[in-house]
Structure 1
């Protein structure tokens, strides 16, 4: 297995702010609450390609190229399809998330660590509520979360666009200055940090062959206060007091 090059060290990652002020813990879903070895996202990615192939009557390579175009221009393939084709977003989400969850297993250390966090816990995802619920149940952590805020709740505006976070904060009445955000994509931490959240970048322990290298590399930036390759251990060590 390929190891991540130059993983962050304790000295590199720990800021001085700490988490004693945090009363709301916000987690991204895919590749944040579970490792890429579960192979869920590659299935979703493939389903999106298949959706495009069927919708436009394209071959696989052309569908993949179009998918990359939509992702690059709009942030998600779904938003591109809504903007340019006016598709029914629910039909797309239902199709994209018809995947096999058998590679995902309960994670008792993660559940224990999340359960011990003081205050509220919420999931904020660009995916669907059904997908988030399925993942959380398989991991054995669903009961620890107050709610899921999905792409439909954001009006189908994806992270990292500011309105996605603003709608989340308004709906759940979250004070960003007393919140922590956990994400696997550094770009999705820019707005949370600007709003006053404590930010944590969750990196894979081993290189994910299904993602771009720059999307899973350690990064030093003002909007990334902490980095970790072990979410459960990080949470256990970061408890206030």
Structure 2
């Protein structure tokens, strides 16, 4: 990555970017979301699965659909679906990623659609809690009284304005293409992390999309 005027500013996703959430955490999280919908929305398990997929397709995540259509409290949903008693044992990362993150020049922020308490527990389990200037979790992505998590371009604009950053200085490292597309549309640079979710979310994709600047499978590649 070439040097940028004023130094680079990195925004890192968390799940499936800094650690392998797909192995154990995501399956349990999907079950927790389905159970939540059965209990608090009043649908059966089959309908819960259908609604979860629909809301991910329409809004980028399940929570926004439940808030908009079922009067669900976002705080309650996030708290109940990210409650893992054994989370630390489920987190799987790599020591060389931690070393690379520590060596990476520039400012570093965590930017995640997960709740802050969960994000901080994962970072602590990875030993990365001191690598980031700040944790920007979904609770901090509110605008005009509504949550606008990734990939909402309005949130990206608001965040960069709040931090007084030019988009051209900023690099988003993500496993989710939709988030990168929104960031690139604002002039940010993008890196697609493909270690743990490679091909899973985009099975028909064979070429790097034009809005993806680089593809990497480990954080050490960012040092080059």
- Displacement over 3 Å in runs of 4+: 205-208, 211-215
CA contact (8 A) 1:218 1:227 kept: no
SS in 2 for 1:41: helix
CA contact (8 A) 2:91 2:126 kept: yes
Cα distance in 1 between the residues matched to 2:214 and 2:16: 17
Where structure 2 has 5 or more consecutive residues not aligned to the other structure, the ranges are: none
TM-score normalised by length of structure 1: 0.82
**Structure 2 equivalent of residue 141 of structure 1:** 128
1:226 to 209, 214, 218: 214
Query: Structure 1 residue 79 and structure 2 residue 70: aligned?
Result: no
**Structure 2 equivalent of residue 20 of structure 1:** 3
**Structure 1 equivalent of residue 170 of structure 2:** 179
CA contact (8 A) 1:28 1:184 kept: yes
**Structure 2 equivalent of residue 15 of structure 1:** none
**Structure 2 equivalent of residue 200 of structure 1:** 191
**Matched ranges for 1:94-133 at <5 A:** 94-99=79-84, 100-101=86-87, 102-105=89-92, 107-133=94-120
TM superposition shift of 1:52: 0.5
SS in 2 for 1:65: helix
What is the RMSD of the two structures over their aligned residues, measured on CA atoms?
2.1
Query: Structure 1 residue 40 and structure 2 residue 25: aligned?
Result: yes
Cα distance in 1 between the residues matched to 2:157 and 2:30: 27
Query: Structure 1 residue 152 and structure 2 residue 139: aligned?
Result: yes
Per-residue CA deviations over 1:128-151 (Å, capped at 9, x if unaligned) read: 111111111111111010111111
CA contact (8 A) 1:38 1:104 kept: no
CA contact (8 A) 1:27 1:181 kept: yes
TM-score normalised by length of structure 2: 0.87
Cα distance in 1 between the residues matched to 2:16 and 2:24: 9
TM superposition shift of 1:205: 5.2
Residue range with higher mean Cα deviation, 54-63 or 178-187: 54-63
Cα distance in 2 between the residues matched to 1:46 and 1:93: 13
CA contact (8 A) 2:8 2:105 kept: yes
CA contact (8 A) 1:154 1:163 kept: no
**Structure 2 equivalent of residue 4 of structure 1:** none
TM superposition shift of 1:120: 0.9
Per-residue CA deviations over 1:62-94 (Å, capped at 9, x if unaligned) read: 211111122222221111111112221111100
Per-residue CA deviations over 1:185-213 (Å, capped at 9, x if unaligned) read: 112111221222221001135758xx544
Number of residue pairs matched by the alignment? 216
Cα distance in 1 between the residues matched to 2:28 and 2:91: 13
